[in-house]
């Protein structure tokens, strides 16, 4: 396990808070994992989905009865129409709320995790977009560095792209 970056008081979590970007081949506690994201590589680029919040890694919440890998495969296909293979855990974001638990907070408290898997593209299917995802694209690291939604994941993205170069 290696902590790549630590961020404090991000706006979309109750404050104060702390997020650690962690490189790890070991899963955090399953009951504290809320979402799975994919760092999907193709020709030395990362697959992104254009969601309501802007360009981001494809991923989402684990459905009952699903493994984390099944969640990854399903979410990547739902959001980008890309079929992936060989998912491998690369790390996670540990999110810690340092304040009292807000009444409306629906995630594990005080610590929850978003796990990140690396996978390769097996097949790129036709994409027309829908309400959830209006676009998909493959981005270089230089392009990703300029995207606001990915600032808290740059360490993991950089690690994967360096591995495949």
Asked whether 69 and 89 are in contact (CB, 8 A), the reply is no
Show Cβ contacts of residue 11 under 8 Å, excluding neighbours closer than 6 positions.
Answer: none
Domain that holds residue 103: 2-164
Residue 9, pLDDT above cutoff 80: yes
Q: What is the CA radius of gyration of the chain?
A: 15
Q: What CATH number is given to the structural domain containing 92?
A: 3.90.79.10
Cis amide prior to 16 (ω within 30 degrees): yes
Element (H, E) at 22: strand 17-23
Which residue's entry shows tokens 């996978």?
A: 119
Residues paired with residue 22 on neighbouring β-strands, in sequence order: 3, 92
Task: Provide the domain count of the chain.
Answer: 1
Q: Strand, helix or coil at 1?
A: coil
Whole-number pLDDT of residue 148: 87
The DSSP secondary structure of 48-101, one letter per residue, reads EEEETTEEE--EEEPPTT--HHHHHHHHHHHHH-EEEEEEEEEEEEEEEE-SPP
pLDDT for the residue 164: 66
Strands 82-97 and 17-23: antiparallel
Report field, pTM of the whole predicted structure over 0.85: yes
Q: pLDDT, tens digit, for every residue of 100-152?
A: 999 999 999 999 999 999 999 999 999 998 888 999 999 999 999 999 888 88
61 vs 163 pLDDT, higher one: 61
In angstroms, the CA 50 to CA 56 distance is 6
Contact 21, 28 (CB under 8 A): no
Name residue 7's beta-bridge partners: 19
């Amino acid at each position: 396990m290696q902590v790549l970056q630590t961020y404090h008081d991000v706006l979309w979590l109750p404050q104060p808070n702390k997020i650690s970007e962690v490189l790890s081949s070991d899963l955090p506690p399953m009951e504290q994992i809320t979402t799975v994201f994919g760092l999907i590589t193709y020709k030395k680029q990362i697959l992104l989905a254009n969601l309501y919040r802007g360009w981001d890694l494809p991923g989402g919440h684990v459905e009952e009865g699903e493994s984390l890998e099944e969640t990854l495969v399903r979410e990547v296909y739902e959001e980008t129409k890309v079929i992936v293979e060989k998912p491998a855990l690369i790390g996670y974001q540990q999110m810690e709320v340092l304040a009292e638990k807000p009444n409306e907070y629906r995630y594990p408290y005080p610590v929850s995790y978003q796990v990140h898997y690396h996978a390769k593209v097996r097949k790129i299917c036709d994409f027309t977009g829908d309400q959830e995802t209006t676009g998909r694209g493959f981005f270089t690291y230089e392009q990703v560095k300029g995207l606001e939604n990915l600032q808290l994941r740059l360490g993991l993205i950089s690690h994967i792209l360096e591995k495949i170069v």
